[in-house]
Amino acid sequence: MNDVERQRIEHICERLIREFAFLNDAHDHDALAELFTEDGSFARPTDPDNAVIGREQIRIFFRDRSRKATCHVMANTVVDVLSEHEAAAQSYVMLYTGHNSDKLLIGEFCDAFRFDGGQWRFQSRRGSLKFP
**Residues in contact with 46: Cβ distance below 8 Å, sequence separation at least 6, in sequence order:** 105, 107, 127, 129
* DSSP for 75-106, written as a single string: EEEEEEE-SSSEEEEEEEEEEEESTT--EEEE
Is residue 94 predicted with pLDDT exceeding 80?
Answer: yes
Confidence at 100, pLDDT banded by 50, 70, 90: low
Q: Which CATH number fits domain 3-129: 3.40.50.1100, 3.30.365.10, 1.10.3210.10, 3.10.450.50?
A: 3.10.450.50
Report the predicted TM-score, pTM, of the whole model to 2 decimal places.
0.93
Is residue 111 predicted with pLDDT exceeding 90?
Answer: yes
**Residues in contact with 50: Cβ distance below 8 Å, sequence separation at least 6, in sequence order:** 43
